[in-house]
Amino acid sequence: MARRAASGERRARGSRTGRPIMVLLDLLGRRWSLRILWELRDEPLTSRALRAACDEASPTVLQARLSELREARFVELGDGGGYGLTTLGRELCETFMPLHRFAERWNVSSPSLRLRGEGESPRRR
Amino acid sequence: MARRAASGERRARGSRTGRPIMVLLDLLGRRWSLRILWELRDEPLTSRALRAACDEASPTVLQARLSELREARFVELGDGGGYGLTTLGRELCETFMPLHRFAERWNVSSPSLRLRGEGESPRRR
DNA sequence: CATCGTGCTACAATAATTGTAGCAAGGACG
DNA sequence: CGTCCTTGCTACAATTATTGTAGCACGATG
């Protein structure tokens, strides 16, 4: 159920079915989404502090992600400025905490994984 | 594709510090990464079956993600064909299972969140 | 008023992704 | 052997997303 049906099917980013898990995976799979939630996990941050925490990512994307995250009700702009997690957002973040421990155990042995685009397919063009 | 590298600081995708959690968040934040892991959670799939499961995403990205995921030792190409999760990959996937329940409770009320590019600022060049 | 810090936007350059087509290698079958 | 499959994987132009830099309007503070 909950299909858009009218106004022409669109195809994009694997959320076509509208299953909540797909929508969520899609949303979290956008650039900086996970990072933003992660950086907000402890305390609210102003947009600029958040930007600083995210390696000075461009405000354009950050603002776009923030809008989406706010629309998803994971993040809110508190009174007096500063972005923070909502109760829902905090629950989501809790879900990710095990990821931290996992990452530590994982401990990336492959150096070419650290930065995008290095050590991938030998690109012959 | 000119890599900027070459001189001093490399900046890309928030993995600059090399902290495992950042590398992981970065890797998982790439398009289709989460989805691939998700689709592989039950059983191995051939590259084409996986593509079908991922709404016919283009083989270019899928192959790129698969390479990265293999390099991260989350996914492997089993003998006789077909991609499957490694033990490590299965552990990672376990970490995500709570996400499923979360997504169900969440149940996206905002229609503009379902597909990328809808409801955002229609900024076009 | 001048100066700061908010959240947020414009926009050209660049990088990533999509979509379509196709390759080489391997099995099965005749 | 030759054809027909299917596998993993690649080419490449077109399209989107992201980056980086600049700057806006608003409010608070001085």
CA of residue B6 to C1' of nucleotide C15, angstroms: 17
**Chain B residue numbers touching A91 (CB-CB < 8 A):** 102
Coarse DSSP helix, strand, coil percentages of chain A, rounded to the nearest 5 percent: 45, 5, 45
Tokens 């995976």 belong to which residue? Answer: A25
More confident of the two residues B119 and A56:
A56
CA of residue A11 to C1' of nucleotide D24, angstroms: 35
DSSP string, B46-75: -HHHHHHHTTT--HHHHHHHHHHHHHTTSE
- Residue B9, domain member (yes or no): no
pLDDT score of A109 more than 80: no
User: Is the Cβ pair A120, B95 closer than 8 Å?
Assistant: no
3-state secondary structure (DSSP) of residue A75: strand
Per-residue pLDDT reduced to its tens digit, B22-56: 989 999 999 999 999 999 999 999 999 999 999 99
Query: A89 near A75, Cβ under 8 Å?
Result: yes
- Residue A110, domain member (yes or no): no
- Residue A15, domain member (yes or no): no
* Whole-number Cα distances in Å, A22 to A16, A58, B48, B73: 8, 27, 19, 24
- Report the residue of chain A nearest B112, measured CA to CA: A71
Is the CB of B4 within 7 Å of strand C? yes
pLDDT score of B92 more than 60: yes
Q: In what helix (H) or strand (E) does residue A17 lie, and over which residues does it extend? A: none
pLDDT at site A55: 92
How far is residue A87 CA from its own chain's centroid? Answer: 17
- Residue B8, domain member (yes or no): no
User: Which domain range does residue B56 map to?
Assistant: 20-100
